[in-house]
Amino acid sequence: MPKYQFLEQLERAFAIAKKDLRIYYKRGPVVIFGLIMPLFLFLAFSIGRSMPVEQLFTGLLAMTIFFSSMSIGPAIVPFEARSRTLERLISAPVSVWAIFIGDVIASFVYGLLISTVPLIIGLALGVNMGNSLVLCLGVILAALCFASFGVLLSAYPPTDVPSTVMMISNLVKFPLVFISGVFIPIQGWGRIIASISPLTYFTDLVNYCTQGNSYYSVFVDFIALIGFTLLFLMVAIKIHEKTLPERL
């Protein structure tokens, strides 16, 4: 694809992202699974336990960014298939990859915006953020990675029922929270399982920034997040390309 055409398509992906943000941020499933759910999970883990504030901050930030970045992505395609606006997008001069990159951008922006809340709370509580540049880069990469994951989760089955996608998405999300050492550090053989979760690497990065200790090096954490993002994006676009006709 020529460079000018790629940039043109990217511009159209941003238009789709703008539309997604306008429409989906206030939808029930997005609010419930993107904001309320992580808040309750955080409270369930933290109330009544004497945990250092840095550990609480790691948990809150990881949960918020993980759930909020993955909340819009899975909802968009089934909603659009049901309201027949997906057909409108496909008949426009926009590549399939640009449509889904647009969805990823919307989820990414939403996740990034929501993640400022725990960051502000952390600052207010006096959490030592350590290397704030590393933390900011980590937040950006994690939001992108989880946004791509969310769009991947909506790729199969090709349904137009948003609750079906949300159910599958939660089936994947909850186990990942428990195996990624968000609140309870993972040790021993559990580390092998933890390494398959992208959330592990973000949690590790935040631990490095706030507590100065991490299991992996910062470099490995960044490479893992980038690797997972590319993998999720490529697989999501491939599966969506295949399943799209079944949604129409």
Q: Which of these, 78, 82, 101, 91, lies nearest to 9 by C-alpha position?
A: 101
Q: Is 211 in the site for other proteins (CB under 8 A)?
A: no
Per-residue string for binding with other proteins, 89-128, x by CB under 8 A?
Answer: xxxxxxx---------------------------------
Specify the residue, 26 or 49, whose C-beta has the smaller distance to other proteins.
26
Q: Crossing angle of helices 162-179/53-69, nearest 10°?
A: 150
Determine if 21 is a binding residue for other proteins (CB under 8 A). no
Rounded CA-CA distance 183/197 in Å is 15
Q: Is 85 in the site for other proteins (CB under 8 A)?
A: yes
11 counts as binding other proteins under rule CB under 8 A: yes
Residue from the set 83, 116, 128, 217 that interacts with other proteins by CB under 8 A: 83
- State the minimum distance, in angstroms, from the CB of residue 226 to other proteins: 29
- CB of 88: closest distance to other proteins in angstroms? 5
138, 225 Cβ separation under 8 angstroms: yes
Exposure letters 155-189 (e unless 16+ CB within 10 A, then b): beebbbebeebbebbbeebeebbebbbbbeebeee
Would you count residue 84 as binding other proteins (CB under 8 A)? Answer: yes
Non-local CB neighbours of 170 within 8 Å, separated by 6+ positions: 33
Query: Which of residues 22 and 125 has its CB atom nearest to other proteins in the complex?
Result: 22
Total number of residues that touch other proteins (CB under 8 A)? 24
Residues 6+ apart with CB under 8 A from 61: 115, 118, 119, 122, 139, 206
7 binds other proteins per the rule CB under 8 A: no
- Cβ of residue 89: shortest distance to other proteins, in angstroms? 7
Distance between CA atoms of residues 186 and 205, nearest Å = 15
Stretch that binds other proteins, among 15-23, 43-51, 138-146, 224-232 (CB under 8 A): 15-23
CA atoms 41, 46, 51, 52: torsion sign: positive
CB of 106 to other proteins, least distance (A): 13
According to CB under 8 A, which one of 31, 44, 53, 87 is a site residue for other proteins? 87
Here the tokens at position 179 are 């195996």
Interface stretch with other proteins, choices 14-22, 61-69, 125-133, 215-223 (CB under 8 A) = 14-22
Angle at 35 between CA 33 and CA 38, to 5 degrees: 75
Residue 241 engages other proteins in binding (rule: CB under 8 A): no
Interacting residues with other proteins (CB under 8 A): 5, 8, 11-12, 15-16, 18-19, 22-23, 83-85, 87-95, 245, 248
